[in-house]
Amino acid sequence: MKITIAAVGDILMKSEIVSSAKQQSAYKFEPIFGKVKSYLSKHDVTIGNLETTFSGKRTLGVVRRCPTGNCPNERRHPQTGRPVFNCPDELASALKRVGFRLLTTANNHCMDGGAAGLKRTLAVLDKNGLKHTGTFRTFEESKRDLILNVKGVKIGFLSYTSGTSSIHVPQRWMVNRIDPNKMAADIRRLKNKTDFIIAYLHFGKEYRSSPNPKQKRLIHFLFKQGVNAVLGAHPHVLHPVSVSQERDIHGQMRRRVAASSLGNFVSTRLRNDMNTVHGKILILTLKKQKGGVTDITKVEHKPTIVKRTVLKERTFYSVVPGRQRSGSGW
């Protein structure tokens, strides 16, 4: 039995993109994904990192002018001074319609709307039939495992972040933080219930084009615990994808995939760097053998780029297929 899993990086809903999607009194986000919908919707599971919140219409942060004067004013947290993101609920239904099935929510912007915003975000995802993991509304919810049964293959999903942009988290269990002891315990719990485990990490240094030694050690630690694929986001640029054969502490030799940064799937150009509008759709083909062993049989890449178009004094953004870029492995 074969199944395919597609994964993308940050869905970073900057204010310019949100504004461009407004049509009269409603927001139309689906056209942003029109050119890549066919690539997203044909897989058994499509995953992305939701790097925004659905905090509702209440005001978040304070407005500060862009220092260069070349971009719209953006809201920043009054204590940290860092940007805070909030998106209209219509994005959730658009993501569902174009093929997303699961969104990870543990990232440095998950607390931008405070605890109330975090909880409302998850409620909006639930309403639109989108699975999620990484942030939680209750202690009980934080203990529930996210396992999808896809054609008889049980896939477990985990999500963690290295930080929350210095925003205080009222309860430790609300946000999965990168903590090797907790991660090992979570994997141990999932191992007995699943055939395959994916860990999605929000970590690393922004704008760095390869994982640092600390990231590599953490990835190999997760492989050793039994994770089959480590996906990542946060640097805003692509990292090479590494494929290896590694044995875990359970004695299982499996093909392991490390994609420490899938780049920005949706974003404006950051720091005037074209690399920040490049991403990829990573496609993993899994096969469950007759003996019950599930392993990765194929790894594919579909490059993407965010295109900005100005038409009749209106700006539009769209994710389009990009050219294959060279470079693989660490």
What does the mean pLDDT of the chain come to?
Answer: 92
Name every residue whose Cβ is closer than 8 Å to that of residue 293 and which is 6 or more positions away in sequence: none
User: For strand 196-202 and strand 229-233, is the pairing parallel, antiparallel, or unpaired?
Assistant: parallel
Say if residues 64 and 93 touch (Cβ distance below 8 Å): no
Please say whether the beta carbons of 149 and 188 come within 8 A. Answer: no
Smallest CA-to-CA distance from 252 within 197, 328, 212 is with 197
Helices 180-191 and 213-225, packing angle to 10 deg: 30
Whole-prediction pTM value?
Answer: 0.92
The secondary structure element, H or E, covering residue 196 is strand 196-202
Q: How far apart are CA 120 and CA 191, in angstroms?
A: 31
In sequence order, the 6+-apart residues with CB closer than 8 A to the CB of 116 are 55
Per-residue model confidence (pLDDT) at position 83 = 85
The answer to whether 112 and 165 are in contact (CB under 8 A) is yes
pLDDT value of position 75: 67
pLDDT over 70 percentage in the chain: 91
The residue-averaged pLDDT of 108-136 equals: 97
Query: Is 327 part of a structural domain of the chain?
Result: no
pLDDT in tens, 289-312: 888 899 999 999 999 999 999 988
Among 90-94, 287-291, 310-314, 323-327, name the most confident range: 90-94
Burial (CB count <10 Å: 0-12, 13-18, 19+), residue 43:
buried
The DSSP 8-state label assigned to residue 237 in this structure reads S
Structure tokens at 215: 């990231």
Indicate whether 37 belongs to any domain.
Answer: yes
Q: CA 116, CA 122: separation in Å to the nearest integer?
A: 10
Measured between alpha carbons, how far is 235 from 211 in angstroms, rounded to an integer?
A: 9
Stretch 169-196: mean pLDDT: 97
In a domain, 211, yes or no: yes
Q: Which residue range(s) make up the domain with 58?
A: 2-321
Alpha helices in 44-193 (DSSP H): 90-97, 114-127, 139-142, 180-191
Q: What is the CATH number of the domain that holds 266?
A: 3.60.21.10
234 neighbors 203 (Cβ within 8 angstroms): yes
Q: Measure the CA–CA gap between 260 and 175, rounded to whole angstroms.
A: 20
Phi and psi at 175, nearest 5°, equal -130, 125
Is 326 within a domain? no
How far apart CA 31 and CA 329 sit, in angstroms, is: 34
Q: What is the mean pLDDT of residues 144-163?
A: 97
Q: Is residue 329 part of a domain?
A: no
> pLDDT above 90 covers what percent of the chain?
85
Q: How confident is the model at residue 327 (pLDDT cuts 50, 70, 90)?
A: very low
Q: Is the pLDDT of residue 246 over 50?
A: yes
Q: Give the burial string for 54-92 (b: 16+ CB within 10 Å, else e).
A: bbeeeebbeeeeeeeeeeeebbbbeeeeebbbbbbbbbb
In a domain, 235, yes or no: yes
Closest CA to 11 of 325, 319, 328, 322: 319
CB-CB neighbours of 187 under 10 Å? 22
Residue 330 lies in a domain: no
How many domains would you assign to the chain?
A: 1
Using the predicted structure, report yes or no on whether residue 72 has a pLDDT greater than 50: no
| pLDDT reported for residue 62 | 47
In-domain check, residue 240: yes
